[in-house]
Amino acid sequence: MPVRVPVLLPYPFAGPFDYLCPPELDLQPGDIVLVPLNRRAELGVVWDESGLPDGLASASAPPVPAHKLKPVTARMDGPPIPRTLRRFVDWVAAYTLSPPGLVLAMAMRAHSVKPETVPVGWVRSGSNEAVARDTPARGRVLAVLADGRPRPTAALAREAEVSAGVIRSMGALGLLREAPIDQPAPFALPDIDHQAADLSPNQASVADTLGEMVRARRFQPVLLDGVTGSGKTETYLEAIAACIADGRQALVLLPEIALSSQWLQRFARRFGTEPAIWHSELGSARRRVTWRAVSNGEAPVVVGARSALFLPFPDLGLVIVDEEHETAFKQEDGVTYHARDMAVVRARLANAPAVLVSATPSLETLHNVEQGRYRHLTLLSRHGGARLPSVSAIDMREFPPERGRFLSPRLIQAAADTMRAGEQAMLFLNRRGYAPLTLCRTCGHRISCPNCTAWLVEHRARKQLCCHHCGHTEAVPVHCPECQAENSLTPIGPGVERITEEARETFPDARILVMASDTLPGPKSAAEAVRRIADREVDLVIGTQIVAKGWHFPGLTLVGVVDADLGLGGGDLRAAERTVQLLHQVAGRAGRAQAPGQVLLQTYTPEHPVMQALVANDFGRFMQREAAERRPGHWPPYGRLAALIVSADSATDADHAANALGRCAPRGDGIEVLGPAPAPLAILRGRHRRRLLLRTRRDTAVQPILVHWLHQWRQTTPSPRSVIVDVDVDPISFL
């Protein structure tokens, strides 16, 4: 009787496919196998019989009769996918309504159909040695290999002072045989006694609590909050030390791993070695080595981006999410998931604590604390007696900049004073490029993207207009494309490039550094920029949200926010929360050492609660206000949301499909559907987009409702091929 095994393939199928298990393979769940699929050999993973949890996933196809099944071709060498990772894949698929194979694909990025090449070298075969000693050259080779250590051909030839030909002929004669060369462990064990910090009593008590939680080996989510510069990182490094001491692995998620040179340095200072790093730009060789090391337990600490959640930890003992409020943790394309929330799930499956870290925690996390689901640990003050910066608003109506300029005289004065005192200043504007809009003064035409509902952003250094949504670029035209007027196009509003131009004119002697994702394309250039600031080779830093990251620049005492109102438009559910978090984070870069810091917010709405909260440094009260606004309408975190984004090649098809979805929308107590409506980005990359929003009460899961809804819609409406419906559970972006 042939045995069936379910094999999950890394593709968007509804579930695993059955294959036959050849008896000699004795396959176990988790084994990575080669299987035939449409005449090609594909990698897959032997999955578990139980299938997906709670009936959340879409129904899979009826079983194929045994005589039609194809056998598994081979089992790949190397470690299997552990059970907790398989459960995690199932869980993420069910929660996000994604095909499980697509989630599995994220766990298989280190694998390819080509077998891994294991480096091999020569050892003595032990036979015919008398023959071998006939010639002095062969004798020397055997002598070198007397220690039993395999050596590759070139190295052996060098050591024995023979030609490579001698070695190859010895191989052909059976005097030598090949043996795998042991690779040194790729990551050194962090030394927990290397340089332990001298923690303040508050820090030490928090670190002790975290350490106990690690040793308890139980799932426990916890919020670690504390003002910027209070030593949250320093404190959770001690929790990592406890985890290493306990012999388990720790995972740290950072929102932008490419910008974490200072974090890595701190880790190295504390533990004497660097951790394993995981992100999407890792080269394929490094990726394989790291995957394998994690799988063998030889990577005690991994720091990574979202995708590090899908590494095969055999014994995960601690999960940390730093800057947990960051929206960068939400993956928007492919499988749409929130890495912060999934990190908590990952920790639960591993029976480990999950530590969410932030100076400005999200309302979601604060709500979980309030409900008693998460523990709460707090660091009360800045380390070493450093004071929090004083924050004030500059009312731009009262102190306007010169015509055609963007910096208020008050901000210019403060920056000049700071630099004169030998300290550093920073100007923050969360907008890349020179100007966000190009307008014709003659006819009023605005240059927009041919593929998207968006203005093109001028990048003057590159002499281009760019779409920040689809990447379209074109040369800045001389004539207006609409009325043909010459030299009539004019930039409207500032981006960092334009602020830099203004700063160069205003402070001709200042050493200026620009930090934006397009001026600092890789981790190396970012690290170099950070070094230059820390080494005081820069007087004025001008940047986008890159500068808000957890940097510690002791000489930086002034932060000027060029447009504090920027994030408040658009009517997004979390616009105010996000603006407070971002600006608080930027403000937190000022005055982290002895000299006190000052933060100036340029705003046209100083009376806005966001500005008031920042000036009063009263984040708690602001969040209570946010809570009070969201609670009555069951907005998250007091209710649940899921977005359906319908897209199609034509507006008619998009409307047709969206209206049909609207007609079969779910109804019921505590269930509400908003839309369909054109998305704010009504056209993106040439596709027409409509949105529907499902809102339920917190005690009502959205997944079963969505599954039923989409099923109904497919049954009743035949849709043109170009129609795609994307599901976004817990949406963060509403564009």
Ligand X SMILES: Nc1ncnc2c1ncn2[C@@H]1O[C@H](COP(=O)(O)OP(=O)(O)OP(=O)(O)O)[C@@H](O)[C@H]1O
Partner from Zn ion, ligand X, none contacting 359, C-beta within 5 to 8 A by type: ligand X
**167 class by beta-carbon count within 10 Å (0-12 exposed, 13-18 middle, 19+ buried):** buried
CA dist 588 → 320, 432, 528, 547, 624 (Å): 21, 22, 21, 11, 21
Partner from Zn ion, ligand X, none contacting 230, C-beta within 5 to 8 A by type: ligand X
By CB under 6 A, the residues from 332 to 361 that bind ligand X are: 359
- From CA 696, how far away is CA 672, in angstroms rounded? 6
Instruction: Work out whether 591 is an interface residue with ligand X (CB under 6 A).
Output: no
| Tokens 């509003």 found at | 493
The letter for the amino acid at 349 is L
Nearest Cα neighbor of 393 from 566, 545, 555, 610 is: 610
- From CA 352, how far away is CA 641, in angstroms rounded? 28
Q: Which residues are within 8 A (CB) of 447 and not within 5 positions of it... i.e. 6 or more apart?
A: 437, 438, 439, 455, 456, 465, 477, 481, 489
Instruction: Work out whether 230 is an interface residue with ligand X (CB under 6 A).
Output: yes
Q: Shortest distance, CB of residue 454 to Zn ion, whole angstroms?
A: 6
DSSP 8-class letter at 556:
E
Instruction: Work out whether 365 is an interface residue with ligand X (CB under 6 A).
Output: no
Q: Shortest distance, CB of residue 16 to ligand X, whole angstroms?
A: 43
Q: Toward ligand X, which CB reaches closer, 32 or 197?
A: 197
Annotated binding-site residue? 243: no
Partner from ligand X, Zn ion, none contacting 197, C-beta within 5 to 8 A by type: ligand X
By CB under 6 A, the residues from 571 to 590 that bind ligand X are: 588
Annotated binding-site residue? 21: no
Task: Round to the nearest angstrom and report the end-to-end CA distance of the chain.
Answer: 55
Q: Toward Zn ion, which CB reaches closer, 208 or 726?
A: 726
**300 class by beta-carbon count within 10 Å (0-12 exposed, 13-18 middle, 19+ buried):** buried
Q: Toward ligand X, which CB reaches closer, 16 or 226?
A: 226
- From CA 715, how far away is CA 42, in angstroms rounded? 32
Q: Shortest distance, CB of residue 685 to Zn ion, whole angstroms?
A: 7
Instruction: Work out whether 199 is an interface residue with ligand X (CB under 6 A).
Output: yes
- From CA 317, how far away is CA 241, in angstroms rounded? 11
Partner from ligand X, Zn ion, none contacting 480, C-beta within 5 to 8 A by type: none
Instruction: Work out whether 226 is an interface residue with ligand X (CB under 6 A).
Output: yes
Query: In sequence order, what are the beta bridge partners of 459?
Result: 464
* DSSP class per residue in 464-491: EEE-TTT--EEEPPSB-TTT--BT-EEE
Partner from Zn ion, ligand X, none contacting 449, C-beta within 5 to 8 A by type: Zn ion
Three-state DSSP at 691 gives: strand
Q: Which stretch binds ligand X (CB under 6 A): 229-237, 562-570, 618-626, 648-656?
A: 229-237
Partner from ligand X, Zn ion, none contacting 228, C-beta within 5 to 8 A by type: ligand X
Q: Point out which residues bind Zn ion (CB under 5 A).
A: 449, 451-452, 467, 469-470, 472
Q: Which residues are within 8 A (CB) of 187 and not within 5 positions of it... i.e. 6 or more apart?
A: 273, 274, 275, 276, 293, 298, 299, 300
By CB under 6 A, the residues from 541 to 570 that bind ligand X are: 550, 552
Partner from Zn ion, ligand X, none contacting 232, C-beta within 5 to 8 A by type: ligand X
Q: Toward ligand X, which CB reaches closer, 360 or 544?
A: 360
Annotated binding-site residue? 664: no
Instruction: Work out whether 532 is an interface residue with ligand X (CB under 6 A).
Output: no
Instruction: Work out whether 325 is an interface residue with ligand X (CB under 6 A).
Output: no
Q: Shortest distance, CB of residue 373 to ligand X, whole angstroms?
A: 23
Number of residues that bind ligand X (CB under 6 A): 18
For 166, the token pair is: 């001698």
Instruction: Work out whether 387 is an interface residue with ligand X (CB under 6 A).
Output: no
Annotated binding-site residue? 466: no
Q: Shortest distance, CB of residue 332 to Zn ion, whole angstroms?
A: 16
**15 class by beta-carbon count within 10 Å (0-12 exposed, 13-18 middle, 19+ buried):** buried
Q: Shortest distance, CB of residue 234 to ligand X, whole angstroms?
A: 4
Q: Which residues are within 8 A (CB) of 728 and not within 5 positions of it... i.e. 6 or more apart?
A: 332, 336, 642, 643, 644, 645
Q: Shortest distance, CB of residue 324 to ligand X, whole angstroms?
A: 11
Partner from ligand X, Zn ion, none contacting 452, C-beta within 5 to 8 A by type: Zn ion
* DSSP class per residue in 524-537: HHHHHHHHHHHTT-
- From CA 617, how far away is CA 683, in angstroms rounded? 40
Binding residues for Zn(2+): 440, 443, 449, 452, 467, 470, 480, 483
Contact footprint for ligand X (CB under 6 A): 197-200, 203, 226, 228-234, 359, 383, 550, 552, 588
Binding residues: 440, 443, 449, 452, 467, 470, 480, 483
